[in-house]
C-alpha cells in the first residue's frame, strides 16, 4: 500500500534546441498567438461554442494540461508533488523539475545574467556580481567553469556570448550542466525565482512510496540509470553524462534522481551551518550503484565545481 499521495501535473514545453539557443514551439491549440494554451484560448473558442469542433476542444484541453507553466522563464518541465516525507523529516509539497537543469538552460541564464550585470568572466571562470537581478550578495564568488577553464565544461565563452558545446556528434544542450558550484546553482535559482530543494525534500520525492531503495525502484542496473562509467553514448571523454530524458521516468514521473549527476541541495551538512559544506544527492555517471541510493548523502564545499555535480530546482 502506498503511504504517499500522488498528485502529478507534468508541464512540458516542446523545445527545438540549436547549439546556442532554446526555442519554444507554439502548440497547435494556441489561438491567441502567445505560444501558450490558457484560459484566453478557451475564451476565443467559447465565442463560437455552438459550432465548436469538440475534437479540437479535446486537443486544446490536453495541451492546456501538459503545457509548460506560462510564467516559467526557462521552459522547465514541472511535476507537482504532495509527499509527507521520510519519517521524522520534512516532506515536499510543490513543484519540482522533472529533469536536472540542462546546459541549454544554464547557458541561457549565463547570457541573461551577463547582460544584466549579475555575473562577470575572469580567467575563463564565471563569478557573481551585484547586478539588479542577483537576489544574493555573491559578488566575487565562483559560479561556473567555461570550457576554456575546464575541459569537462559543456559551455563555451567567446568573450561576448556563452554557447553550448557539441562533441562526438552530439549536442550537449539537453545534458545536465556540470562544473557548477553551489553558489552558481543558487544564483540561477534566485535569478528566476526558483530554489534548491532541501536534502530531505529531495529524498521524500526520490523514495516515492517508501519502498524505493533507489529513485528507480528497489533495484538498479545500467539499463535504467547512468552510473558506474556506463557511458551510454560512447563519448570519447569525460563527462559521460546522458540527455536528461534518455532513461525512463520513475516514481512521481521524475528522471535521473538516480545517477547522471549529483544534485546540489540547500542543506548544510553540520549543525548551524558553521562550515561551508552542502549536501548533494542522487549519485552520478562516475560513481557506483551504492551512491545512487535515495538515502546516500554526499557533501562538498559550496565553491567546488566538478564534472559529476549539477542540480535540480523546485518552486
Burial class (CB in 10 A: 0-12, 13-18, 19+), 240: buried
Beta strand ranges found along the chain (DSSP E): 10-11, 15-17, 22-24, 78-83, 92-97, 119-122, 125-128, 142-145, 155-157, 162-164, 166-167, 170-171, 262-268, 277-281, 298-301, 309-311
Q: Does a structural domain hold residue 53?
A: no
- The CATH number for 162's domain is 3.90.1580.10
Is the pLDDT at 166 greater than 90? The verdict is yes
The answer to whether residue 47 sits within a structural domain is no
Examine residue 210 and state whether it is found in any structural domain, yes or no: yes
More confident residue, 234 or 49: 234
pLDDT in tens, 88-127: 899 999 999 999 999 999 999 999 999 999 999 999 999 9
Identify the pLDDT of residue 238. 98
Is there a domain that residue 232 lies in? yes
Q: Which residues contact 194 (CB under 8 A, 6 or more apart)?
A: 76, 188, 313, 314, 315
The Cα-based distances of 100 to 43, 59, 78, 103, 133 in angstroms read: 35, 29, 11, 10, 23
- Which residues 6+ apart lie within 8 Å of 160 measured at CB? none
Is 168 a member of any domain?
yes
Share of the chain above pLDDT 90, in %: 69
Total-model pTM: 0.79
Print the domain residue range for 217.
100-311
What is the pLDDT confidence band of residue 54, given thresholds at 50, 70 and 90? low
Any domain includes 184: yes
Query: Does residue 47 surpass a pLDDT of 60?
Result: no
Domain assignment present for residue 212? The answer is yes
Q: Flag whether 70 is in a domain.
A: no
Is it the case that residue 20 has pLDDT exceeding 80? no
Number of domains in the chain: 1
- Predicted confidence (pLDDT) at residue 2 exceeds the cutoff of 60: no
Amino acid at each position: 500500500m502506498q503511504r504517499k499521495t500522488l498528485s502529478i501535473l507534468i508541464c512540458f514545453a516542446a523545445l527545438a534546441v540549436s547549439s546556442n539557443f532554446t526555442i519554444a514551439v507554439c502548440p497547435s491549440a494556441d489561438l491567441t498567438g502567445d505560444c501558450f494554451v490558457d484560459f484566453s484560448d478557451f475564451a476565443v473558442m467559447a465565442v463560437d461554442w455552438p459550432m465548436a469542433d469538440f475534437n479540437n476542444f479535446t486537443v486544446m484541453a490536453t495541451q492546456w494540461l501538459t503545457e509548460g507553466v506560462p510564467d516559467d522563464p526557462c521552459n522547465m518541465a514541472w511535476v507537482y508533488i504532495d509527499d509527507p516525507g521520510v519519517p521524522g523529516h520534512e516532506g515536499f509539497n510543490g513543484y519540482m523539475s522533472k529533469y536536472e537543469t540542462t546546459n541549454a538552460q544554464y547557458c541561457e541564464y549565463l547570457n541573461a545574467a551577463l547582460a544584466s550585470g549579475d555575473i562577470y568572466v575572469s580567467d575563463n571562470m564565471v563569478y557573481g556580481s551585484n547586478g539588479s537581478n542577483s537576489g544574493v550578495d555573491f559578488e566575487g564568488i565562483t559560479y561556473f567553469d567555461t570550457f576554456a577553464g575546464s575541459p569537462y565544461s559543456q559551455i563555451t565563452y567567446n568573450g561576448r556570448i556563452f554557447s553550448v558545446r557539441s562533441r562526438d556528434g552530439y549536442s550537449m544542450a539537453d545534458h545536465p550542466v556540470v562544473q557548477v558550484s553551489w553558489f552558481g546553482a543558487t544564483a540561477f535559482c534566485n535569478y528566476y525565482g526558483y530554489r534548491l530543494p532541501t536534502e530531505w525534500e529531495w529524498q521524500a520525492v526520490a523514495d516515492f512510496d517508501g519502498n524505493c531503495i533507489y529513485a528507480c525502484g528497489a533495484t538498479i542496473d545500467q539499463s535504467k540509470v547512468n552510473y558506474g562509467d556506463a557511458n551510454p553514448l560512447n563519448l570519447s571523454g569525460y563527462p559521460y553524462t546522458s540527455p536528461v530524458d534518455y532513461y525512463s521516468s520513475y516514481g512521481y514521473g521524475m528522471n535521473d534522481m538516480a545517477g547522471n549527476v549529483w544534485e546540489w541541495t540547500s542543506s548544510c551538512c553540520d549543525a548551524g551551518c558553521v562550515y561551508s559544506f552542502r549536501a548533494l544527492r542522487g549519485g552520478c555517471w562516475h560513481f557506483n550503484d551504492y551512491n545512487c541510493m535515495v538515502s546516500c548523502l554526499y557533501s562538498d564545499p559550496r565553491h567546488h565545481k566538478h564534472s559529476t555535480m549539477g542540480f535540480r530546482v523546485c518552486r
